[in-house]
């Protein structure tokens, strides 16, 4: 199956030094549009680890569509970056035995971009639109009749002589992906037959993902080493893959031919300041500042940001979410607070 890519897939928000963190779930420049990520992508539902509920739902929907010889219903996938949305679109196309056309909303700025793409779709093909919450208004309005009635309405001519022409489309499946389901307009959201949220992966699933990727990368990781990587990748397969590449670099440079154990993983990732829960320097600096300068908090976000030389929005969007998820940090009406779990992670005594 070919993946046809049209246009650049762009990073979600480019504006910070925190962007180059090894634990960032958003693809780095060299990971975008690249065969690198593709090489590690599962190709079938069986190969796709975790997200069991989503897999079950799609398995039944795909089999039903195949049985009836129809296109699969449109699918909306939402959830944090790096959890397997693009991968699932490719897998679904593979299961349907059709091509997956991959594009993203920022590449569909002009009406003719989406019109050309829709007209080129063969029966039952999958059209994947990443970052679908960023669609231009005109593009979105062209999509409504396409999704609902397999029709696009084109206006030809200008002024009083202009008229609308309807063009028929082949049946197709739109798979949309977004990290911000809330930013989607409700008419668009309502046109998806299947909507599903992807969750962070369990440690067990991550271990299986790490094992699978390590095998594909020809990295002889011990079971404990897999566990160690799984615990550091912040619930996110994309980060697991990236950590594995850093470990492979380290092993290559050290000339290690033997199996890679948890100790070697620790050494390799220490170089990137990634600790055993997946915190990096930015995360630990934030907690440390709170503890050392503010007695653990609560302290306002702006004060914290000023102290760290970061802007508050970046801190809130890029650094805090994982700390909150781990329960190391709490947002209170009076500001940010380090929890006892956060304190003990940094070796500080608990407080009542």
Residue nearest to Mg ion (CB): 86
Q: How many CA atoms lie within 13 A of 68 on its CB side?
A: 11
Residues 65, 180: contact at Cβ < 8 Å? Answer: no
C-alpha distances (whole Å) from 222 to each of 138, 210, 226, 244, 275 are 53, 11, 6, 13, 19
Interface contacts to ligand ADP, rule CB under 6 A: 37, 40-42, 48-51, 81-87, 177, 209, 237-238, 241
CA-nearest of 106, 80, 84, 77 to 24 is: 80
Q: How far is the CB of 154 from ligand ADP (least distance, A)?
A: 31
Q: How far is the CB of 226 from ligand ADP (least distance, A)?
A: 13
Q: How many CA atoms lie within 13 A of 64 on its CB side?
A: 8
86 catalytic? Reply is yes
Q: How far is the CB of 77 from ligand ADP (least distance, A)?
A: 8
Applying CB under 5 A, the span of 58-66, 83-91, 216-224, 238-246 interacting with Mg ion comes to 83-91
Sequence-distant (≥ 6) Cβ neighbours of residue 314 within 8 angstroms: 15, 16, 18, 305
Of 40 and 304, nearer to ligand ADP (C-beta) is: 40
CA 99 to chain centroid, in Å, comes to: 21
Binding status of residue 86 toward Mg ion by CB under 5 A:
yes
Binding status of residue 236 toward Mg ion by CB under 5 A:
no
Catalytic residue, candidates 86, 103, 139, 178? 86
Q: How far is the CB of 129 from ligand ADP (least distance, A)?
A: 12
Binding status of residue 178 toward Mg ion by CB under 5 A:
no
Q: How far is the CB of 78 from ligand ADP (least distance, A)?
A: 9
Catalytic residue, candidates 21, 238, 242, 343? 238
Of 45 and 274, nearer to ligand ADP (C-beta) is: 45
339 catalytic? Reply is no
Alpha helix positions (H), the chain: 35-40, 52-68, 85-96, 111-120, 137-149, 186-190, 203-216, 223-232, 237-254, 262-270, 281-294, 301-308, 312-314, 320-326, 340-345
Q: Which does 174 bind (CB under 5 to 8 A by kind): ligand ADP, Mg ion, none?
A: none
Catalytic (active-site) positions: 85-86, 130, 179, 238
Question: Where does this chain bind Mg ion (CB under 5 A)?
Answer: 86
């Amino acid at each position: 199956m070919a993946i046809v890519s049209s246009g650049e897939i762009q990073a979600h928000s480019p504006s910070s030094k925190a962007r180059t963190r090894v634990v960032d779930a958003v693809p780095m420049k060299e990971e975008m549009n690249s065969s690198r990520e593709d090489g590690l992508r599962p190709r079938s539902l069986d190969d796709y680890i975790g997200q069991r509920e989503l897999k079950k739902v799609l398995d039944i929907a795909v089999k039903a569509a195949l049985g009836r010889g129809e296109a699969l219903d449109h699918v909306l996938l939402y959830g944090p970056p790096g959890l397997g949305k693009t991968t699932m679109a490719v897998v679904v196309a593979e299961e349907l035995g059709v091509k997956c056309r991959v594009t993203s909303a920022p590449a569909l700025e002009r009406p003719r971009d989406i019109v050309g793409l829709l007209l080129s779709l063969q029966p039952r093909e999958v059209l994947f639109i990443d970052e679908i919450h960023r669609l231009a208004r005109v593009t979105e309005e062209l999509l409504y009749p396409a999704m609902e009635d397999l029709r696009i309405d084109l206006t030809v001519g200008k002024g009083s002589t202009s008229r609308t022409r309807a063009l028929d489309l082949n049946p197709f499946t739109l798979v949309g992906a977004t990290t911000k389901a809330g930013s989607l307009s409700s008419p668009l959201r309502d046109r998806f037959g299947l909507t599903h949220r992807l969750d962070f992966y369990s440690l067990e699933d991550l271990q299986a993902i790490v094992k699978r990727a390590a095998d594909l990368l020809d990295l002889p990781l011990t079971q404990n080493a897999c566990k160690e990587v799984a615990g550091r990748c912040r619930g996110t397969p994309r980060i697991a893959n990236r950590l594995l590449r850093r470990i492979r670099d380290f092993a290559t440079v050290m000339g290690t031919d033997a199996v890679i154990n948890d100790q070697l993983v620790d050494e390799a990732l220490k170089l990137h300041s990634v600790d055993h829960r997946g915190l990096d320097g930015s995360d630990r600096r934030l907690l440390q500042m709170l503890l050392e300068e503010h007695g653990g908090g609560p302290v306002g976000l702006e004060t914290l940001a000023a102290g760290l030389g970061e802007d508050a929005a970046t801190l809130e969007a890029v650094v805090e979410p994982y700390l909150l998820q781990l329960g190391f940090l709490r947002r209170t009406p009076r500001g940010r607070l380090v929890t006892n779990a956060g304190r003990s992670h940094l070796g500080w005594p608990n407080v009542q």
